[in-house]
Amino acid sequence: MCHCGLPQPFADCCGRFVSRAIDAPDAQSLMRSRYSAFCEQAIDYLCFTCSEKALEQNPREEVAEFAQAAHFVRLHIMDYEPGDALAYVEFKAFYIIADTLHCIHERSQFIQQHHQWKYDSGQLFEAADVKLRRNDPCPCLSGNKFKKCCMS
Ligand SMILES: [Zn+2]
Ligand SMILES: [Zn+2]
């Protein structure tokens, strides 16, 4: 299974985009590949897939620091509004830092520039943090207890 939740292995799914072998054909694929890039700490790709505006707001060092600190466990695409120049993806991305499960709930705007989709901006929704206990089922949905799985 790919990091993004689709059944193919990473190499046949988001890996093709993250390695830059081919361009993501639409905003949803790009969004999935950016999530997977966080899992792989592919910082070059995360910067490459930002518009200029998004790069200004998400400087490389901050993106790198966040990718290193956060252990991403799950992506849930909630809505996708395709378009020619503009497209929107609403998603929830779950990640663990220390013993807390955090959620980014965002409606992202993507723009197409020179046949490449770029992340441009996002509208954040409030999402609650959850304290994880050792014996909780792991939020990555592996079926294992947190302490035997994603607990660092
Ligand atoms: Zn994928
Ligand atoms: Zn886990």
pLDDT of residue 30: 98
pLDDT band, residue 56 (cuts 50/70/90): very high
106-115 average pLDDT score: 96
- Ion ligand 1, residue ranges at CB < 5 A: 2, 4, 6, 13-14, 32
pLDDT of residue 152: 82
pLDDT tens digits, residue range 117-149? 999 999 999 999 999 999 999 999 999 999 999
Structural Rg of the chain based on CA atoms: 15
pLDDT tens digits, residue range 16-52? 999 999 999 999 999 999 999 999 999 999 999 999 9
What spacing in Å lies between the alpha carbon of 45 and ligand 1's midpoint?
14
DSSP conformation class of 26: S
Residue 84 and residue 113: Cα distance in Å, rounded?
10
Domain boundaries of the chain, sorted by first residue: 10-148
Q: Could you tell me if 73 and 64 are in contact, meaning their C-beta atoms sit under 8 angstroms apart?
A: no
Q: What is the mean pLDDT of the chain?
A: 97
What spacing in Å lies between the alpha carbon of 77 and ligand 1's midpoint?
12
pLDDT of residue 46: 98
pLDDT band, residue 60 (cuts 50/70/90): very high
Residue 102 and residue 2: Cα distance in Å, rounded?
21
Q: Could you tell me if 120 and 110 are in contact, meaning their C-beta atoms sit under 8 angstroms apart?
A: yes
Q: How many CB atoms are located within 10 Å of the residue 113 CB?
A: 11
Q: Which ligand is nearest to the CA of 13?
A: 1
Of 108, 106, 75, the C-alpha closest to 5 is: 75
What spacing in Å lies between the alpha carbon of 147 and ligand 2's midpoint?
8
Return the CATH fold of 10-148.
Nuclear Transport Factor 2; Chain: A, (3.10.450)
